[in-house]
Amino acid sequence: MTNENHDWYTKMVRKLRINGKSSRTQQAYTRAVRQLTAHCRKNPEAISEQELEDYFLFRRNESQWAPKTLNLSYCAVRFYYLHVCHREWKLLSILKAQKEERLPHIPSGETIHHIFSCVTTFHNFVFFATVYSCGLRLQEALHIQPADIDGQRMILHVHRGKGSKDRYVPIPSETLVLLRRYWKTHRNRQLIFPALGRGHTTGATATTPMNRASVQGALARAVKKAGISHHISIHTLRHSYATHLLEQGVNIRTIQRYMGHSSLETTMRYLHLTRKGQEDAFGIINTWMSGFSHDRA
């Protein structure tokens, strides 16, 4: 990276941090602007509005980027030119890609348990059970700390949520037992799911959580072993949590709060499966999310 290119990068990261963007968002946004500079072969400050328009037409028509990819690039480039370069181009106000309306495949509760039965390691089993039974995002689950768990009130304090929003979610009793059993295998003071290292010997002193790719790969292997043909990811477990609670009658407003959704519309996409609604969410979750007992120490 040349000094000239490093200058735009430093300025952008500074503005992103001031704006409160997470480290992952910082990486995604700077990567998007770097793609723009590589395509135009010049510093982003030297790119004109017409060149920017040509770039996005190229990405849409020639590269055929998916709407999700386009929107990420739009957001990143808009942020850079508005907040770093202070340009009020009309183009920045109309950058928008049509959202894909595809609904994820939601496996049944029985299928989820079948997949979990095919997980070969205790730490991955506990991780997947926690993600599913608490409706967590991958990043949220990886960074759970012992202090986040309130065993008396049976709740989990979720930090580092999307948009830097904290929330509280119920912990089913069997999940709590699993978390305690697993923590006793490493007793790390900072993390429930620390990086274990080769031979699983570094868990007690690790300062970073398990590797994202490692847990994603473990789930993919379990899905294949279970004979499931549909694509099922870590995030599928979170979708399944919301859908299965709706099927069991939990009120949609309650699910919105547990999922950490800012808008009810985001939660309402799960309504295609059920119209039920009741208030006894804690009791329902505790009953429905049972079955996570495990023989491994």
With vertex at residue 33, the alpha carbon angle to CA 29 and CA 39, rounded to the nearest 5 degrees, is: 145
**How far does CA 100 lie from the centroid of its chain?**
18
Using CA atoms, how far apart are residues 97 and 72, in angstroms rounded to an integer? 10
Which among 262, 261, 253, 260 is positioned nearest to 281, based on CA atoms? Answer: 253
Tokens 């309650």 correspond to 254
Residue type, 144: I
Separation between Cα atoms, residue 226 and residue 224, nearest integer Å: 5
Q: What is the SS3 assignment for 278? A: strand
Dihedral of CA 204/207/212/217: which sign? Answer: negative
Q: Which helix (H) or strand (E) holds 33?
A: helix 23-40
Query: Which residues are part of the catalytic machinery?
Result: 137, 162, 235, 238, 261, 270
- Reading the block at residue 288, the tokens are 């429905």
Classify residue 245 by burial, with Cβ atoms within 10 Å: 0-12, 13-18, 19+. buried
Q: Do residues 114 and 222 lie in contact, with contact meaning Cβ atoms separated by under 8 Å?
A: no
